[in-house]
Structure 1
Amino acid sequence: MTYRSILYITMFTGLIQAMGRLSHSGSGQLTLHYSTPTHPLLRDVALGDSIAVDGICLTVETLLPQGFVAAVSPETLARTTLGQLPEGSWVNLESSLRVGGKIGGHFVTGHVDGRGHLEAATQTDNAWMISFTVPDARVARYIVPKGSIAINGISLTVAECSPSGDWFSVAVIPVTYQETTLPYLQPGQAVNLEGDILGKYVEKLLQGRPNHGAADGEDLSLAFLAEHGY
């Protein structure tokens, strides 16, 4: 008999499907109540499913008539905004990507790198220009111009950023702004940030192979990657 092992990797796309209201149980659990009880997301949720809550991958432990309950570890509470959100806060929700599903945003793992803070949000004729500060250099290093960034689970493109990545802005179209929790953010409020996973792997390669040639003796460097379109 031949046995085959299948590796399941939970991924998201950063396209928010619904919003919910958060409540704390006081025992390391969070309860989410859907904003629209008849939303398709509610019909598809099953025990053990992974759902991104403000960009944080959580596992459904208990199903409710209009929501679900998930456990949250101390590490998650310390690294993300979940431990700071007051009772009844709105959060973004996205179910995990399924095989064959559309990838309209970018690959998001639901593993938050750290927090940033809203600086300002300004409405223009056809978009919202929103800027953030990023005090943690471990998060800022993955923020590059025109790169992908997940903000509270929302897949967005960096419009501008400082050389170090400790400040950046995004342009948000009206439909994204209106159908996510972005309108509820206040200046100075913390947000969850996840950098593009591709950048993390490139960084790992650069650190792990400093003297290995990319081709014909060339070093794998930032200059080499830029020259070849990365």
Structure 2
Amino acid sequence: MFTGLIEEIGSLRSVERRGEAMILTINAVKVLEDVKLGDSIAVNGVCLTVVKYDARSFAVDVMPETYRHTNLASLQIGSPLNLERAMMAGARFGGHIVQGHVDGTGVIRDRRAEANAVIFKIEPHERNALRHVIPQGSVTLDGISLTVVDVDREAGSFIVSIIPHTLKETVLQHKHAGDTINIECDILGKYIDHLLHAPEDRTAQSGGLTEAVLRDNGFI
């Protein structure tokens, strides 16, 4: 599990491609301080497993499913990458619950300055992703925990506002209109939505989570 607080910006050292499978070698410093084989590191918001490392870099496998549903396939040598180690028990929880399981990609439709902030308008490639994006809720973009400012369901887009520190310390400083971005929606919303809309055969067996159940147990 991650929190969406980026620890450092790494860079892509090399890519070994085998069809829709890849091995990425990534230059890094901070995330290597206590690294071990098998550790999880979020790379642009994608939870990947360390399969090799040295004093200045680490390598991860990218399977076809990840290749198809994230922006990792479009990376070039030298591409900057958001990096975050898995959260330690007892550490401060500064962002929100981030799994590193990307729901899909989107495109940046607009980037503009507003006083000390920068506004990004994001259009998910899968319009259904907006189902789990709500104003003042949490969303993860390229591994960054952000607050949704507004959602335009008719246009199929949402807006986030970036403070100077976040812009400076993440790959968003390099992102512009037309660039792709990884999107992970809030896991709490996804689970609640799934339970409320579970297939009939499953709810018939278990009783399901219904409005009546929530009311009877004091949740609404």
Please tell me the TM-score bracket, short chain as reference.
0.7 to 0.9
Residue range with higher mean Cα deviation, 152-161 or 199-208: 199-208
Contact 2:41–2:86, Cα closer than 8 Å, also in 1: yes
Q: 2:23 matched to 1:29?
A: yes
Distance 1:42 1:30 in 2: 15
Residue range with higher mean Cα deviation, 148-157 or 197-206: 197-206
What is the aligned partner in structure 2 of residue 7 from structure 1?
Answer: none
Q: Secondary structure at the match of 1:26?
A: strand
Contact 2:116–2:163, Cα closer than 8 Å, also in 1: yes
Q: 2:43 matched to 1:49?
A: no
Q: 2:136 matched to 1:146?
A: yes
Amino acid corresponding to residue 27 of structure 2 in structure 1: H
Q: TM-score, normalised by structure 1?
A: 0.84
What is the aligned partner in structure 1 of residue 92 from structure 2?
Answer: 102
Residues 215, 169 of structure 1: CA spacing in aligned structure 2 closer, same or farther, 3 A cutoff? closer
Q: Secondary structure at the match of 2:4?
A: coil
Following TM superposition, by how much is the alpha carbon of 1:189 offset from its aligned partner in structure 2, in angstroms? 1.1
Residues 215, 175 of structure 1: CA spacing in aligned structure 2 closer, same or farther, 3 A cutoff? closer
Contact 2:104–2:125, Cα closer than 8 Å, also in 1: no
Amino acid corresponding to residue 213 of structure 2 in structure 1: A
Following TM superposition, by how much is the alpha carbon of 1:92 offset from its aligned partner in structure 2, in angstroms? 0.1
Residues 202, 47 of structure 1: CA spacing in aligned structure 2 closer, same or farther, 3 A cutoff? same
Following TM superposition, by how much is the alpha carbon of 1:196 offset from its aligned partner in structure 2, in angstroms? 0.2
Runs of 4+ aligned structure 1 residues displaced above 2 Å come to 163-166, 208-212, 214-218
Structure 2 gap segments, 5+ residues each? 199-207
What is the aligned partner in structure 1 of residue 201 from structure 2?
Answer: none
Contact 2:2–2:97, Cα closer than 8 Å, also in 1: yes
Deviations 1:143-165, CA, capped at 9 Å, x for gaps: 11111000000000000111368
Distance 1:198 1:150 in 2: 13
What is the aligned partner in structure 1 of residue 202 from structure 2?
Answer: none
Q: Secondary structure at the match of 1:83?
A: helix
| Bigger strand share | 2
Structure 1 gap segments, 5+ residues each? 1-10, 219-223
Contact 1:141–1:164, Cα closer than 8 Å, also in 2: no
What is the aligned partner in structure 2 of residue 19 from structure 1?
Answer: 9
| Bigger helix share | 2
Identity %: 39
CA RMSD of aligned residues (A): 2.0
Residue range with higher mean Cα deviation, 158-167 or 12-21: 158-167
Q: Which of 70, 75, 81 pairs up with 1:85?
A: 75
Amino acid corresponding to residue 214 of structure 1 in structure 2: V
Distance 1:87 1:60 in 2: 19
Distance 1:163 1:53 in 2: 29
Q: TM-score, normalised by structure 2?
A: 0.87
Following TM superposition, by how much is the alpha carbon of 1:124 offset from its aligned partner in structure 2, in angstroms? 2.2
Q: 2:151 matched to 1:161?
A: yes
Distance 2:78 2:196 in 1: 44
Deviations 1:74-100, CA, capped at 9 Å, x for gaps: 110000000111221101000001111
Contact 1:136–1:166, Cα closer than 8 Å, also in 2: no
Q: 2:88 matched to 1:111?
A: no
Contact 2:139–2:148, Cα closer than 8 Å, also in 1: yes
